[in-house]
Structure 1
Amino acid sequence: MRCPYCGNEDSQVKDSRPTEDGTAIRRRRVCIACGGRFTTFERVQLRELTVIKRSGRRVPFDRDKLMRSVQIALRKRPVESERVERMVNGIVRQLESMGESEIEAGLIGRLVMEGLKTLDDVAYVRFASVYRDFREAKDFESVLGELNADSE
């Protein structure tokens, strides 16, 4: 594993343990060259997934990109990181268990919207504004109307 501080490729594992939800292994490492300490996570990957963008372009699925987009929607919101991690893990498991190696970007967006709706209404609206490409205020009103209808 490459050291994030000095770039050396030799590191020593000091501690390994499963994450809380058991979907990954957390490893504490020490760089042999500079002594820097860092953490890595190993996850099981059932299959290589490819995302088909709206433009038709195909790109490899990137779990970290999914996590970043969810975190952007949740910025400054009172949601525990464990709940976010569980949601993202659930989405990835759903995608991997579908049996398809190519996934439409729209499906990923819909799964994120479903997850955010249960986590935080504000994050849901933020994500929807980008995912659905809002152009004016009435677009926000329609999503807020959906939220109100679901909560009644």
Structure 2
Amino acid sequence: MKCPNCHHTSSRVVDSRHTDELSAIRRRRECEECGFRFTTFERMELSPLVVVKKDGNREVFSREKLMDGLLRACEKRPIPYETLEKTAAQIELDLRNLNKSEVSSNDIGEHVMKALITLDQVAYVRFASVYKEFKDIDQLMETLKHLAKGSDDNELQ
């Protein structure tokens, strides 16, 4: 591991811990040349997950894009960032557990909606209004009625 301070290529591990929320191993290192301490994360490399978009285009799954969508839906809501990170990690895990090399953007949207409905109803409605492409206020009101009745997301339009 190259030292970020002096670029020496030899360092020793001072501390090593498994981090559940990031599914990684956190290592505290010390450069053997200058003594600078730094942190690295070791993560298992997974096979790429390909997303099939509505228009048929394909792109590699990006947890960052998933997080961006969650952050936008939860903007100005009382939800800790760590909760959103765990939610994104769980959604990615669920998608990978489908044991498919390709998933549709629709599958991702459904997983996000399922997570948001239990996390925050306002964030759920925000996400649903974009994801479901509501054409008018009646579609939005119908979704709100189902939400108020306590319906699960499978019943929501």
Determine the structure 2 residue equivalent to 1:148: 148
Determine the structure 1 residue equivalent to 2:56: 56
Amino acid at match of 2:62: D
Q: Secondary structure at the match of 1:21?
A: coil
Structure 1 segment 1-150 matched on structure 2, within 5 A:
17-21=17-21, 23-26=23-26, 42-150=42-150
Amino acid at match of 1:143: T
CA contact (8 A) 2:24 2:44 kept: yes
Aligned residues, how many?
Answer: 148
Q: Percent identity, aligned pairs only?
A: 45
Deviation digits for residues 36-79 of structure 1, max 9, x if unmatched? x9977554343211000111111111111001110110001001
Determine the structure 2 residue equivalent to 1:32: none
Amino acid at match of 2:94: Q
Deviation at 1:133, TM superposition (A): 0.9
* Structure 1, gaps ≥5 residues long: 2-7, 30-36
Deviation at 1:97, TM superposition (A): 1.2
Amino acid at match of 1:138: D
**CA separation in 2, counterparts of 1:27 and 1:65?**
27
**CA separation in 2, counterparts of 1:39 and 1:74?**
30
**CA separation in 1, counterparts of 2:42 and 2:74?**
25
Amino acid at match of 2:127: F
TM-score (norm 2): 0.74
Amino acid at match of 1:114: K
Deviation at 1:86, TM superposition (A): 1.6
CA contact (8 A) 1:46 1:96 kept: no
CA contact (8 A) 1:47 1:96 kept: no
**CA separation in 2, counterparts of 1:134 and 1:117?**
17
**CA separation in 1, counterparts of 2:38 and 2:68?**
20
Q: Rg larger in 1 or in 2?
A: 2
Deviation at 1:137, TM superposition (A): 1.4
* Structure 2, gaps ≥5 residues long: 2-6, 30-36, 153-157
CA contact (8 A) 2:22 2:89 kept: no
